[in-house]
Amino acid sequence: MRNRLAALALVSLLVGTGAAAHAKPHHNADPTSVGVRLVDAPLERRDDYRAHIYIVDHLNPGDTIERRIEVTNYSPSARDIALYPGAAIVDKEGFLFGDGRADNELTGWVTLDETEVRLDAESRTRVLARITVPDDATSGEHYGVIWAEAGDRHDPHANVYNVARSGIRVYLSIGAGGEPPSDFELDDLGAERTKDGQPVISARVRNTGKRALDLRGELTLTNGPGGLSAGPFPVEIATLAVGDDRVVELPLDAVVPDGRWTAKLALTSGKVDRETTATVAFGPALVESSVTMSPGTVLGLSGLVALLAVGALGMVAYRRRDRTG
């Protein structure tokens, strides 16, 4: 097998039908849901958080990889759970799932040692997924999802058929030689207050590499009016396609006062880190900005100071809830 594998921590992100879902401790899970998590990742990607959540790899034609997947039945009753690969694409809207069991080139490479498991109430099992790339595979990045699906026993006379499913995304780069580079640019950090009074931080993100990106990071506000400081606040941005150039908006709580602030936004995808810093202003004050970019930067925590008296800033990432994990 091409990759040596390393065991992962128990917490991972999941994708769900119609909404993104996060893996939860067993006792907090939705009792109607089914869950999946990745158990293995390549040792060479142990510092890449995406490889602990999704199947992310670069393969040559003819290569084979294997990953163990844990499937959990959170229901209080036994359930039959189907396992299958499904198609996905990445475009300007992010990572998009195909309908039902839609297939593509990648789904034909995936085999599972179990395609259906029966799990007792609140129990779990592990399934082996194998991806074998044929010699004539198309070069480039391919996308898919390995789904675990549980539903009611289908009644042909019923008008509604309830299905719950969760899955693990697959980002597979195919081509001879080394892996294509991942990279992005982050700049144009600014601020404005909408007509209804909500403050918004915006930034431009460009995918300048050769692989799709899943961006997450932190926003920190310091040097505000009267010395106010807040953050860091978590940020997640929907999957960025190769060549995508996107302005993202990060709404804040309306309690943020007018005036100048120093805003710092730091994002990472896999092993690539970028940050930008600017002086921004809400209200009538002029905006003067200076941008810096430094790979590998780690932000220090700067907890809430005076804003605790009037409420914490709310951070809502620019993302579609139905686009993952």
**pLDDT tens-place string over residues 186-232:** 999 999 998 888 899 999 999 999 999 999 999 999 999 999 988 78
User: pLDDT tens digits, residue range 65-109?
Assistant: 999 999 999 989 999 999 999 999 999 999 999 988 999 999 999
* 9 and 140 co-located in one domain: yes
Nearest to 174 by CA among 205, 135, 226, 146: 135
Residue 43: pLDDT band by 50, 70, 90 thresholds?
A: confident
Please indicate, yes or no, whether residues 165 and 266 belong to a single structural domain of this protein. Answer: no
Q: How far apart are CA 293 and CA 274, in angstroms?
A: 6
Average pLDDT (160-186) is 89
Give 158's pLDDT tier (boundaries 50, 70, 90).
low
Q: Is 258 domain-assigned?
A: yes
Helix (H) or strand (E) segment spanning residue 156? none
């941005």: which residue's tokens?
237
Do 14 and 157 have their domain in common? Answer: yes
| Domain hosting residue 34, numbered range | 5-174
| Residue 189 and residue 146 share a domain | no
Q: Is 315 among the domain residues?
A: no
For every residue of 88-101, DSSP letters joined together read EEEETTEEEEPSTT
Mean pLDDT of 260-289: 84
> Do 161 and 17 have their domain in common?
yes
Contact 237, 248 (CB under 8 A): yes
- Select the more confidently predicted residue: 260 or 177: 260
318 in a domain, yes or no?
A: no
Q: Determine contact, residues 130/162, Cβ cutoff 8 Å.
A: no
pTM equals: 0.74
Specify whether 118 is located in the same domain as 199.
no
- Contact call for residues 37 and 69 (beta carbons, < 8 A): yes
Same domain, yes or no: 131 and 276: no
User: Residues 83, 72: contact at Cβ < 8 Å?
Assistant: no
Euclidean distance between CA atoms 299 and 279, whole angstroms: 17
Task: Please give the Cα distance from 318 to 51 (Å, whole number).
Answer: 22
In terms of domains, do 33 and 108 share one?
Answer: yes
Residue 12 included in any domain: yes
More confident residue, 148 or 310: 148
What is the average per-residue pLDDT within 98-127?
Answer: 94
Whether 58 maps to a domain, the answer reads yes
Say how far apart CA 119 and CA 251 lie, in whole Å.
42
Handedness of CA 25, 89, 320, 47 (dihedral sign): positive
Please report, rounded to a whole number, the percentage of residues in the chain having pLDDT higher than 90: 56
Residue 319 lies in a domain: no
Residue 203 near residue 290 (C-beta atoms within 8 A): no
Same domain, 104 and 206: no
Of 123, 156, 174, the residue that ends a domain is: 174
pLDDT recorded at residue 240: 95
Tell whether 143 and 207 lie within a shared domain. Answer: no
Q: Is residue 317 part of a domain?
A: no
User: In this structure, are 170 and 292 located in the same domain?
Assistant: no
Are the C-beta atoms of 213 and 239 separated by less than 8 Å? yes
Per-residue model confidence (pLDDT) at position 220: 94
> What gap in Å lies between CA 317 and CA 304, rounded to an integer?
19
Beta strands 40-42 and 5-7 are antiparallel
Here the tokens at position 270 are: 């896999």
55 close to 67: Cβ distance less than 8 angstroms? yes
CATH code (residue 113): 2.60.40.10
Q: Are residues 170 and 35 in the same domain?
A: yes
* Lowest mean per-residue pLDDT among 54-63, 234-243, 312-321: 312-321
> Is the CB of residue 279 less than 8 Å from the CB of residue 246?
no
- Total count of domains within the chain: 2
Give the C-alpha separation, 204 to 29, whole Å: 36
Confidence (pLDDT) at 177? 82
Predicted confidence at residue 290, as pLDDT, reads 42
The pLDDT score that the predictor gives to residue 40 is 84
Pairwise pLDDT comparison (3 vs 218), residue with the higher score: 218
Residues 6+ apart with CB under 8 A from 80: 116, 117, 118, 150
Q: Is residue 179 part of a domain?
A: no
